[in-house]
């Protein structure tokens, strides 16, 4: 994916080529299968992975979904909803890492009312590398203090090495 703007993938795809998000946003909006085919997905610095659908690569590479330093995950972008859950299912593969989020990446999470929030749900193994990552909170109508699940690992292991989360300078939190 090159160029600014949002590329929405709303159907299940079976292509067998690596998906590279180099610029702009790739938004997975599929309701079945894998939005990005069977091979690995790489999100480069400055690009965004979003959506309320599923990425389910099944190839046998070491890492199936990777975000480089400076890449961004923002599930709600391009969905038409205040909040969304982006599913990454790497359980059907023999990949040892599954999904890798490099240090220096950005997790942009929308939080709304009544406990609703964006969520990155990974089925399989998730590694969050050491480094300073940025957590951006997108305030939606009705946002209030509460407990929100923003990252969930299902049937896998979480290797969490993040040393610090930073908040953008314009964040004003009273919670």
| Burial class, 98, CB count within 10 angstroms (exposed 0-12 / middle 13-18 / buried 19+) | buried
Tokens of 153: 């690992």
Q: What is the pLDDT of residue 49?
A: 96
Interval 21-36 mean pLDDT: 95
Residue 80 has pLDDT above 60, yes or no: yes
If you search the block for the tokens 């389910």, which residue do you land on? 56
* Residue 172 binned pLDDT confidence (cut-offs 50, 70, 90): very low
Cβ-Cβ contacts under 8 Å for 170 (sequence gap 6 or more): none
Judge if pTM exceeds 0.85: yes
Minimum mean pLDDT among 9-13, 14-18, 64-68, 80-84: which range?
Answer: 80-84
Residue 67 has pLDDT above 90, yes or no: yes
Q: What is the pLDDT of residue 151?
A: 87
Question: Which of the pair, 162 or 14, is modelled with greater confidence?
Answer: 14
Q: What is the pLDDT of residue 5?
A: 94
């Amino acid at each position: 994916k090159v160029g600014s703007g949002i590329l929405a993938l709303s159907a299940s795809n079976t292509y067998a080529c690596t998906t590279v998000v180099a610029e702009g946003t790739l938004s997975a909006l599929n309701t079945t299968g894998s939005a990005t085919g069977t091979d690995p997905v790489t999100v480069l610095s400055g690009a965004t992975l979003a959506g309320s659908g599923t990425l389910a690569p099944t190839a046998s590479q070491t890492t199936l979904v990777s975000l480089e330093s400076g890449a961004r995950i923002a599930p709600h972008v391009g969905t038409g909803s205040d909040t969304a859950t982006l599913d990454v299912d790497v359980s059907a593969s023999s990949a040892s890492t599954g999904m890798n989020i490099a240090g220096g990446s950005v997790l942009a999470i929308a939080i709304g009312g009544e406990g609703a929030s964006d969520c990155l749900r990974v089925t399989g193994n998730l590694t969050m590398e050491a480094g300073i990552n940025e957590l951006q909170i997108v305030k939606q109508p009705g946002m209030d203090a509460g407990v929100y699940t923003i990252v969930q690992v299902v049937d896998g292991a979480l290797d969490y090495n993040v040393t610090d989360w930073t908040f953008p300078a314009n964040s004003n939190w009273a919670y």
